[in-house]
Amino acid sequence: MQKHWWHKATIYQIYPKSFMDANGDGIGDLKGITSKLDYLQKLGITAIWLSPVYQSPMDDNGYDISDYEAIADIFGNMEDMDELLVEANNRGIKIIMDLVVNHTSDEHAWFIEARDHPDSLKRDYYIWRNQPNDLLSVFGGSAWQYDEKSGQYYLHFFSKKQPDLNWENAALRQKIYDMMNFWIAKGIGGFRMDVIDMIGKIPDQKISGNGPKLHDYIKEMNQATFGQHDLLTVGETWGATPEIAKRYSNPEGQELSMVFQFEHIGLQHKPDTPKWDYEKELDVPALKKIFEKWQTDLELTQGWNSLFWDNHDLPRVLSIWGNTGIYRQKSSKALAILLHLMRGTPYIYQGEEIGMTNYPFASLEEINDIESLNYAQEALGKGKTKEQIMNSIRMIGRDNARTPMQWNDTDQAGFSAAKSTWLPVNPNYKDINAAAALADPDSIFYTYQKLVQLRKGEDWLIDADFELLETPDKVFAYKRSLAAESYLIAVNLSDEEQSVELTDSYKDTIISNTDEDQALTSHKLQPWDAFCVRLG
């Protein structure tokens, strides 16, 4: 199998509104990101996945794009973007752009022309019907919006300001490929593809994800754009199974490097219920089964995994499955060690490397996220109490990941010189911040730094087989083996001591958040113990 740079890469996701505000308006920006590249270089990451910075009315914080080849004013301008690319490349850091091509903003020139001139060629770039069917928007309500002028409805699987593009239209597809090539020519490291599994939709048959032409489109895109370059491409695919992931990421298939699968994230809510019916108690045996399946089914010759706990749409993993109390540091390291030593490309979401937590949102006034706000409105209508609604949003709402990055213990956590920021800074910033983490050699930051280094240096992380070990429920232990070498990874995912016999002898320790020798000889894992040892 041909090895690519991204097999040894760790990717760091930046949510631009919340990373660093350089001009003091309370909103993060490109110059802010550039000013923090030394920090990221210290962490050691290979590439940044930059959530959208394009021109946008910000109905969905940039996932509603009105010009793919311009930068949103709040973030700066194209010069700032070019500067970020140069400065990042100088530090050996690549920039992966967010590619949002399932839909545009309703303020994109294509949509304005399509809506105002129903006879124009652009009309067919979008999806219009005389009658809506009962398809629903991911953000609540009908997926169809009535347009007065033409008397037709247009499709929007997300907000009504995010009209869906019609991928059946070959001219539109070409426009998208041209736009992608514009970015490739700038020297970017790849694309993260927003809800890419939806581009093959057939609304009349109520098919949204995994439509019949999806993989044809991706192959065509590969040929027309990144296929000639060594770029990382990762698709956001909520419904992916290992079989589906193989279609995308098979090295022979000429589609993508990898996809994000969300099966483990599904454990954050009760089976077959909306995410708002959250399930805080982690079902560890179920988690083990899911990872075992993905690690073994997606063999090296057949595909490649991505590995993540957090992103800008999810709660902080520490707050839902970790321990934000006395075991905050230890549980955060445990979750990191568990994930990063599996096979795949790991992703770190900003703040995860210092153990940031969910925000204690008290009322809807503090909420910005369109999905949470729409949910609250719908749920109120269905008779849920405000308290029930706030409980859900506080645990699972997307704003939890989006509060400003905590840099130090000064006002606004050093994120901004403004009096107030677009989302409030988490009040725990005095304790939890990057400056404190950097100053403490035993901090979460250095565990992540070590994991990133291991990923670059240890070839077995790519090649070795995965074997789940039989252990008590709350212990997640696996073995990675390659020829004569093997490694044991053991993690106690609980606040209680666990008895388990793992091995009598080992050669050396690869990484640990505890006294692994004591744990192995006493056959007892203390709360949130986690380590990796080389066996033999």
- Using CB under 6 A as the criterion, which residues of the chain lie in contact with ligand GLC when the complex forms? 60, 63, 100, 158, 194-195, 236, 312-313
CA 67 to chain centre: 23
Report the nearest approach of Ca ion to the CB of residue 409 (Å). Answer: 21
Alpha carbon distance 258, 484 (integer Å): 29
29: which residues sit within 8 A by CB, 6+ positions away? Answer: 16, 20, 21, 22, 23, 74, 75, 76, 80
- H-state helical runs in 21-169: 30-35, 37-43, 78-90, 109-116
Rounded to the nearest 10 degrees, how much is the dihedral formed by the CA atoms of 272, 100, 102, 262? -20
Report the nearest approach of Ca ion to the CB of residue 23 (Å). Answer: 4
Angle at 95 between CA 319 and CA 351, to 5 degrees: 20
Nearest to 64 by CA among 164, 167, 184: 164
Alpha carbon distance 423, 31 (integer Å): 19
Q: Between 21 and 369, whose beta carbon lies closer to Ca ion?
A: 21
Q: Between 7 and 161, whose beta carbon lies closer to ligand GLC?
A: 161
Q: Which one is catalytic: 236, 310, 353, 399?
A: 236
Binder of Ca ion out of 6, 9, 21, 361 (CB under 5 A): 21
Binder of Ca ion out of 11, 19, 29, 36 (CB under 5 A): 29
Q: Between 350 and 498, whose beta carbon lies closer to ligand GLC?
A: 350
Contact yes or no for 437/445 (Cβ under 8 A): yes
Q: Which one is catalytic: 194, 197, 263, 352?
A: 194
Token couple for 64? 């509603």
Q: Between 214 and 525, whose beta carbon lies closer to ligand GLC?
A: 214
Q: Between 99 and 436, whose beta carbon lies closer to ligand GLC?
A: 99
Task: Indicate which of ligand GLC, Ca ion, none lies near residue 60 (CB less than 5 to 8 Å, by partner kind).
Answer: ligand GLC
Task: Indicate which of Ca ion, ligand GLC, none lies near residue 21 (CB less than 5 to 8 Å, by partner kind).
Answer: Ca ion
Report the nearest approach of ligand GLC to the CB of residue 158 (Å). Answer: 4
Task: Indicate which of ligand GLC, Ca ion, none lies near residue 25 (CB less than 5 to 8 Å, by partner kind).
Answer: Ca ion
Report the nearest approach of Ca ion to the CB of residue 56 (Å). Answer: 15
Binder of Ca ion out of 9, 20, 27, 477 (CB under 5 A): 27
Alpha carbon distance 264, 242 (integer Å): 13
Task: Indicate which of Ca ion, ligand GLC, none lies near residue 231 (CB less than 5 to 8 Å, by partner kind).
Answer: none
288: which residues sit within 8 A by CB, 6+ positions away? Answer: 468, 476
Report the nearest approach of ligand GLC to the CB of residue 100 (Å). Answer: 6
Check if 194 is active-site.
yes
Q: Between 295 and 412, whose beta carbon lies closer to Ca ion?
A: 412
DSSP state of 149: T
Report the nearest approach of ligand GLC to the CB of residue 143 (Å). Answer: 13
- Per rule CB under 5 A, is residue 35 in the interface with Ca ion? no
86: which residues sit within 8 A by CB, 6+ positions away? Answer: none
Task: Indicate which of ligand GLC, Ca ion, none lies near residue 59 (CB less than 5 to 8 Å, by partner kind).
Answer: none
Contact yes or no for 243/226 (Cβ under 8 A): no
- 323: phi then psi, degrees, rounded to nearest 5: -130, 115
Collapse the DSSP code of 71 into the 3-class scheme (helix H, G, I; strand E, B; otherwise coil) and give the result.
strand
Report the nearest approach of Ca ion to the CB of residue 80 (Å). Answer: 11
Check if 442 is active-site.
no
- Per rule CB under 5 A, is residue 408 in the interface with Ca ion? no
DSSP state of 301: T
Task: Indicate which of ligand GLC, Ca ion, none lies near residue 87 (CB less than 5 to 8 Å, by partner kind).
Answer: none
Report the nearest approach of ligand GLC to the CB of residue 124 (Å). Answer: 22
Task: Indicate which of ligand GLC, Ca ion, none lies near residue 391 (CB less than 5 to 8 Å, by partner kind).
Answer: none
- 492: phi then psi, degrees, rounded to nearest 5: -95, 110
160: which residues sit within 8 A by CB, 6+ positions away? Answer: 106, 137, 145
Q: Between 422 and 445, whose beta carbon lies closer to ligand GLC?
A: 422
Contact yes or no for 337/532 (Cβ under 8 A): yes
Report the nearest approach of ligand GLC to the CB of residue 88 (Å). Answer: 22
Task: Indicate which of Ca ion, ligand GLC, none lies near residue 80 (CB less than 5 to 8 Å, by partner kind).
Answer: none
The dihedral through the CA atoms of 433, 435, 441, 445 has a sign that is: positive
- Per rule CB under 5 A, is residue 80 in the interface with Ca ion? no
Alpha carbon distance 454, 93 (integer Å): 17
Nearest to 101 by CA among 190, 164, 174, 182: 164
Task: Indicate which of Ca ion, ligand GLC, none lies near residue 195 (CB less than 5 to 8 Å, by partner kind).
Answer: ligand GLC
Q: Between 418 and 482, whose beta carbon lies closer to Ca ion?
A: 418
DSSP state of 136: B
- Per rule CB under 5 A, is residue 23 in the interface with Ca ion? yes
Q: Between 84 and 234, whose beta carbon lies closer to Ca ion?
A: 84
DSSP state of 526: P
Which residues are tagged catalytic?
Answer: 194, 236
- Positions touching Ca ion (CB under 5 A) are 21, 23, 25, 27, 29
